[in-house]
Every structure is written in C-alpha cells, then in structure tokens.
Chain A
C-alpha cells in the first residue's frame, strides 16, 4: 500500500471539507476518529471529556479545513487541532469539578527486548533511557516534545502547575542526558541531540 496515494486521498477530502462537503467530513471521521479517540484517551482517561474533544476536533476541522497547507500528514494536522481541543475540554471539565490527577499508564505487559527491536526503537540509546524515566517525567516530555504543547497547555493536560511541568521537563532532560552519557553506544553529535529534542 503506497502511503502517498492515501495521503492524497485524505488531503483531497480535506479540500472538499473546506468547500463545505459534509460527506467528506464524515469520511474523514470514519478514517481518523478511532485512532484519535485512543490517542486522546492515553492522555486523559475520562471518556466523556474525550468524546467531547473528538466531536470538537472534527467540528473545528469543518471550520478550519482551509488552513491545511498541504505539507505533511493530514493525521498530524488533525492531531494538532485535536490535542488543543482536548486541552479546552479538560479546562471546561476542571471548571466544573475537581481536578483529576494525571493517571500514569502502567503497562501490564512488559514488552520483550526482541519486540522493542522489531518496533524500531533504538534499544540501546534513547528508548532505554526513556524507559528508565519515571512516569511523571515521561508524561512531561510526552506533552511538551511529542505533542508539542506549551508549558501552560501541558499543565492543563497533566493536571499540575505550570512550574511543575517546567521543572519536570528539566529533570527529565538531565536524567536522559546522564543515561545517554552512560551508554556510550556511539557518537552522539550535538545535531542529533537537537533533532531529538525538537526546537525547545
């Protein structure tokens, strides 16, 4: 299956949505709602909030489809909208009730070393170092680096104060640098490190 063809299809659907085609929106929903729901649930476990966020995401897609510039995966575009709608939904939820603490996803199954190699993680370097982090630090890294949220948004997602997010990110970086320095598994250029950490 050629990823290129699929991407064009999604992009074409998005262009139709921008023109007001409701069926194209429904088709995009059918393709993307499942992974979006799962990915959001991993960030915030309350199903009602996730449901609202999913609806809001596609609603925002309906209004903002024309802002898609055509470079990159449609799925990444959808996630960019979705994660912010999730933050909004959590904010609304927090206004109504008690803040829910971030629930760490404790794995029941430990993935074997072979599996890790199979899924393509650099077992000897970043992957192992990441696995060695505590859940809170990993969560902070996930929110700021993987999902690209600001510290304020990450604070809402994780249910902690903004200062806590900043300090956790810092501690995580320190821990990772230490872990990577220990491994000495190969030349580690500053450029590689920059790539790994993104722009911040």
Chain B
C-alpha cells in the first residue's frame, strides 16, 4: 500500500500502481478528493511516467511562457556580492543594473589604479635616487617631502574627475542615443554613474595617500578638493558643452597646483584655506547643478 506520507520509511510495494488518466485529469484541475491527492502527489514524486502523463493535462501556453521568462532570467548577469549588499541597503535593483553599463566603473577604476600606482612609484624612485633629500634641517619646517608630493596632488583629484567625466560625456556611452530617446530621467542616470565613479576613483586615491610619505591628514584632505572638482564639472556641464566643462574643471585645478609647486609650497592646495575655498566651490556648484539639472538632456537646449 502506498503511504500518503512520502517521508515514511516503509518500502512501497505498490510501486507498480500508476494513476489513471481520469485521476490525473481531476488532480490537474483541482477536483480530486483531498486525501487521494496526497497519495497521487506522493506517487508523482517517484514516477516519471505519471509526471509525463500529468503534463498532458497542463496549460501548455502558460508553461511555455514561464519557460521563456525563466531562460531570460537565467541569462541575466549574475549578482556580485557588492550588488547584493547594496540591494539590502535599499538601493533599487534597477539602479544597480544601470551601473553595469557604466563605463567609468570599469575604466576609471583601471585608470585610477594604474595612474596612482605610477605616480607613487615615481615618487618613491625620486626619494630613493636622492633627487629630493628628506630630513634636511632647512626643509623640515616646511614638510620635507612636500615637493615629492606635488605630482600626486596634481594627479589624484584629476583622476577622480576623469572617472566622473566618463559618466557624463556622451562619447563614453555607446548607447547614448537610446538613453536620449527613452523616458528614464537623464539626470538620474548621470547621478547614478557619477556617484559610483566617484566612489570607485576615490578609494584607490585615498588609499595611495595613506602609503605616501607626507602629513597624516593628507588622505582626508584630498576628499573635499576631489568632490568640489567633480561637482563643479557637472555644474559646468549644464552651461557649457560636456567636454568643455570637463576640461575647464581640470584646468581650474591644474593651474593653482602648478603655481604653488613653482613657489615650493605645493601642500598649500590642501591646507585649511584652500579647503574652505573648495567647500565654497562645492556648495555653489551643488546649487547650480540642482537648479539646472534638467539641462542634461542630450540634444535639447531649452
């Protein structure tokens, strides 16, 4: 006798029994007796022949539809750990999918890492080969390593800027025409990309700052200038052409750094006065950006 409970340890001597067509039909529709159904379900668990017979009574169209949706979902790119973490924090799934199409998340990471590593290596070499001697009494008071740091100070925020620029320059998005013709807010798309590019670029930059010789507050001091630069570029992009905006922002950082380096005080760019200036630029840029965010439609000036 077949037990209605599949977990029962007793053997099933009635294994030769198969459900007949009527029983399967009534089971498929839901009109079979509940207790009989338990027996049928237990039997189906072990009998492929009856499973196949049951399939004949099923809704073929519904099964086919679910099958194609299943295969599409299987084909979707997998979820990385980072994405699942962000999902739990409440970031909507569709925004995370958009990140998959962000070129700067891949390129800028690579760019920053390579650039920063190159700079660090260059500086380390400079110190080792004695081009710049550390510890000399005359220079101690003025941060002996300051001139070593000048290239890094120049390049680091520019790397972050480059990553964010890749988020809003149309040339970095091969499918930009599709985005332009689609209802999804261009500004939201831009923000998603810019924020992720910013995070992606800041991490290696700040990390390298910890490694470099120099004052201990250097890593933290890089944050405001990088942020200000990127938001300035975004705000400028509402007024100028995207490429012009990126170049202007880059120039606005490069000139002061070079001037200060020529005056042998490159670290002044990250000292408190300069930090306040960066904060002011950041606030102004945020205001402009929020006021003019609808200008980010590609192809439309009005």
Contact = CB atoms under 8 A, between A and B. Distances in A.
Contact of A59 (B28, B48, B54, B73): B73
Contacts of A42: 30, 37
A31 B51 contact: yes
Interface of B, helix, strand, loop or mixed by DSSP: helix
Interface string A16-51: 000000100110011111110111011000010001
B54 A22 contact: no
B4 to A, nearest CB: 7
Contact of B33 (A34, A54, A111, A120): A111
Contacts of A185: none
| Consensus secondary structure, chain A interface | helix
A32 B51 contact: yes
B51 A38 contact: no
B141 interface: no
Interface stretch (A72-80, A94-102, A150-158): A72-80
Given A34-B58, A108-B31, A146-B5, A29 B70 contact: yes
A31 B51 CA distance: 7
B55 A34 contact: yes
A114 interface: no
Contacts of A198: 5, 7
Contacts of B52: 31
Given A120-B2, A127-B4, A198-B5, A22 B33 contact: no
Interface of B: 1-10, 14-15, 17, 19, 23, 26-28, 30-41, 44-49, 51-52, 54-55, 58-59, 62-63, 65-67, 69-71, 73-75
6 contacts: A6-B49, A25-B74, A34-B63, A121-B1, A131-B33, A199-B7
